[in-house]
Every structure is written in structure tokens, then in C-alpha cells.
């Protein structure tokens, strides 16, 4: 077995340490009700470790992409801590099998983020349970499609990773706000830095130019900006919204990468990649930690405030994204859908 004690240390000290030491909380805007505390966890912490001692009994948390990888591990650990987890997959069979394979209380549901009617239908089934939603974790996604594909006229990664989840977030918004301390936990990625020009609103269909990695970066920046604007909108409630980078992990998210990259990940990934239990840690921390009560609008990585590109705190871009997303998905949003703050 490859040694684990110094895994990723070279990259950590050569690249990460310099930026972390210069990362003031002021990097995040003043929209927060209180600063995010520094946790004792880091890139080597696991989902079980960051939730140790936390009792989630009586709480209901929904998560997309629950049938494999990070989503499955997140569901397993949340259920282990006592939560009722609504495990959402792309079809009912996958959801049923995933939920049946773990201990704890789960409810299997499905949606296809590329089929927006199915997103609404899933939200309706969740609302029909008649109970507040203590957490919504938008975990599912696709990455680095080699060729341009469209969904409802939008580049597929943007449509699935952002717009599909945008619909779900707004359909379930009232259910999360009805909980005592509801949390929106939105998975972004360090790949948001690939969006070097921010959200290119004139190229959301990829017609001007298309690059798979850049398009993925745009979708991940959109996830983070969605969380940021949502945090603004719910700042007068007990609910929170935050985004996060789970880390670089070898999961089926990378199935569209070139064969040589997949080979490197499979055989050398232990050097610089997180394990799945480690990759699910930040999600579980943001979704459950009592230390984050009332903390909203942040981008997390390694269970602490993360370093992001300058567009990550661009509130004007976040508001415009919300308006554009509303226009793109209006037929699938609930009546009275909130506008940018």
C-alpha cells in the first residue's frame, strides 16, 4: 500500500500554505451575520471525524448525487449520525439501491438535472412529506465534457450543475427556511478559477467558444455565486447558504477526462488526491457543524474558509446570475420566486 503519512504534503507546502497565510476573512464580503470560525480540521480529516459527537436525530437532509462517490459517503455519514437522509439519484433504481445499502433512515428519490420537469417533481415529492428540511446539499454534477452539448439552449454543464440545482433550491427554499436552522450547502470547486473571465453571460450556450474545462469552471463559479446571493436573500432568517470545494478526488465525476488523466488518477492519485471519506468531510462539516450556526455566504475548503478567485466575491455578478437564471428557468420556479436583494 502506498504510504499515507505525507500524502499531498509537497503540494500543500509549496502551493497552498502561502495563500492560506494571506487569507483574511475580509476576503469574504460583509454579508455575514458573523465571521466563520477557524476549525481544527484540515485536508486529511474525514467525514466521520468532522461529525463525531454531532447528533442529527430528528433532522431531515436531502442530497443530490447520493448513489456514488462523495454523495454516497455524505449520505452514509449523515445517516450514521441520526439524520433522515433523502438520497436523490438520477433514477429511482440507483436511489433505491444506494439507500438500501446503508444503515439509518433514508428515503430514496430521483431527479434528472437535465430534465427540469423531473426536478420540480422531485421537489414536490419532498414537500409532500410535510416536514421542514434541515438541509439541502447540491452535490450532483458533471465535469469537463469534451464536446459542446446543450440542455434547453444552455451549455450542458451550466444547465446541469447550476440551473438544475437552481430550480431545486428555489423549489425547496420554503421547506429549508421552515427548519429551525436550515442549511443550503452548495458544492462548488476550486475549478471555478478556470472561469478566467467570470460568468460570460453572452456565451452561456457555448456558441462563441467552447472549452470543456472552462465551461466546467463557469458552472462551478455559478454554484458559488448562487450560494452567495442566496445568503444575501436569507440574511434576515435563521437559515444559511454556503458553497465549498470538496477537494480533488478520484470519483466517477472524472469519467469524461482523457484516458491518460484517468490512468494518472488511478495509479498516482494517492499522492495528491483525497480519499472519498476525506472528500466528503467539508460537505459534512458545512452542513452540520454547530460552530457554523448563522454563518453564511462563505466558500469553504478543507473545512475552513477557502481561497478563491476574485469573481467569487463579485456581488454584482452574483445578482446578475440570479436574474439570468430566473429568466432561464422561470417556468420551473415557484410563484413569487425571490429576486436579487
Catalytic residues: 210
N- to C-terminal Cα separation, the chain: 52
Q: How far is the C-alpha of 177 from the C-alpha of 4, rounded, in Å?
A: 42
Angle between helices 281-288 and 69-80 (to 10 degrees): 40
State how far the Cα of 46 lies from the Cα of 280, in Å rounded to an integer: 7
Q: How far apart are CA 182 and CA 174, in angstroms?
A: 10
Displacement of CA 255 from its chain's centroid (Å): 19
* Grid cell of 264 as nine digits: 494518472
- Which among 71, 143, 75 is positioned nearest to 107, based on CA atoms? 75
C-alpha cell at 8: 499531498
Q: Any alpha helices (H) in 25-89, and if so which ranges? A: 47-51, 69-80
Amino acid at each position: 500500500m502506498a504510504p499515507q503519512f505525507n500524502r499531498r504534503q509537497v503540494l500543500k507546502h509549496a502551493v497552498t500554505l502561502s495563500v492560506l497565510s494571506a487569507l483574511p476573512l475580509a476576503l469574504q464580503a460583509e454579508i455575514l451575520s458573523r465571521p466563520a470560525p477557524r476549525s481544527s480540521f484540515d485536508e486529511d480529516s474525514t467525514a466521520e471525524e468532522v461529525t463525531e459527537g454531532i447528533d442529527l436525530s430528528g433532522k431531515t437532509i436531502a442530497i443530490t448525487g447520493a448513489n456514488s462517490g462523495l454523495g454516497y459517503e455524505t449520505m452514509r455519514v449523515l445517516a450514521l449520525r441520526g439524520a433522515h437522509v433523502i438520497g436523490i439519484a438520477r433514477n429511482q433504481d440507483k436511489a433505491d439501491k444506494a439507500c438500501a445499502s446503508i444503515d439509518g433512515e433514508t428515503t430514496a428519490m430521483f431527479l434528472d438535472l437535465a430534465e427540469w420537469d423531473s426536478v420540480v417533481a422531485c421537489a414536490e415529492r419532498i414537500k409532500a412529506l410535510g416536514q421542514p428540511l434541515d438541509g439541502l446539499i447540491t452535490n450532483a454534477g458533471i465535469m469537463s465534457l469534451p464536446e459542446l452539448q446543450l440542455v434547453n439552449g444552455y451549455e450542458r454543464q451550466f444547465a446541469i450543475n447550476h440551473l438544475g440545482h437552481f430550480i431545486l433550491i428555489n423549489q425547496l427554499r420554503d421547506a429549508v427556511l421552515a427548519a429551525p436552522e436550515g442549511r443550503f450547502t452548495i458544492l462548488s470547486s476550486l475549478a471555478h478559477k478556470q472561469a478566467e473571465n467570470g460568468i460570460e453571460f453572452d456565451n452561456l450556450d457555448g456558441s462563441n467558444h467552447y472549452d470543456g474545462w472552462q465551461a466546467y469552471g463557469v458552472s462551478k463559479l455559478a454554484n458559488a455565486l448562487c450560494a452567495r446571493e442566496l445568503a444575501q436573500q436569507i440574511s434576515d432568517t435563521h437559515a444559511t447558504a454556503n458553497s465549498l470545494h470538496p477537494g480533488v478526488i478520484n470519483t466517477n465525476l472524472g469519467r469524461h477526462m482523457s484516458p491518460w488523466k484517468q490512468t494518472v488518477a488511478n495509479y498516482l492519485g494517492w499522492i495528491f488526491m483525497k480519499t472519498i471519506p476525506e472528500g466528503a468531510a467539508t460537505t459534512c462539516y458545512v452542513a452540520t457543524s454547530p460552530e457554523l450556526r448563522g454563518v453564511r455566504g462563505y466558500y469553504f475548503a478543507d473545512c475552513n474558509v477557502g481561497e478563491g478567485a476574485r469573481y467569487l466575491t463579485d456581488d454584482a455578478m452574483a445578482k446578475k446570475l440570479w436574474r439570468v437564471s430566473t429568466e432561464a428557468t422561470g417556468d420551473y420556479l415557484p410563484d413569487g420566486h425571490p429576486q436579487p436583494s
